[in-house]
Amino acid sequence: MELPIKGEKVPFPKIKEICEFYGLNDLWIKIEEDPPAKPFKSDGCSIWFDSWEGISMYPACFLHDLKYWAGYPDEDVERLVADAELMIDVARLLGKTKMAETMFHGVRVGGHEIFKRSFSWGFGRES
């Protein structure tokens, strides 16, 4: 599936299609039942490389952004799962683990909601 480009606002029908394609049914239910206030757009691999050694990591980062956008405050387990899935997706894309592990540690520290950044957990629900 071709994902929307970096910075493009993604409408709800497209988000639903993406969630269905990637098997993110629980995520779609969460979004449908209580849509985040801000429109969704991905910034790719936030303040990091979107590709490594000629391989795009954007698909993994896009899905991670979608999960972070829909997150609620204090969803520590859901955030950990999203971060672990990013690590696994990047490892599969690259066929090795070093970069995936580095990214996992980066998002664990830098993606926490307390920082209230444009890429922090729950960024779609920030007012």
The answer to whether the beta carbons of residues 66 and 15 sit under 8 Å apart is: yes
pLDDT tens readout for residues 71-111: 999 999 999 999 999 999 999 999 999 999 999 999 999 99
DSSP H or E stretch at residue 95: none
pLDDT tens readout for residues 52-68: 999 999 999 999 999 99
Three-state secondary-structure class, residue 55? strand
Domain regions of the chain by residue span = 42-115
Q: Is the pTM of this model over 0.95?
A: yes
Can you tell me the distance from the alpha carbon of 72 to that of 30, in angstroms, rounded to the nearest whole number?
10
For residue 1, pLDDT beyond 90: yes
pLDDT tier, 125 (very low <50, low <70, confident <90, very high otherwise): very high
Q: What is the pLDDT of residue 126?
A: 73
Q: What is the pLDDT of residue 127?
A: 60
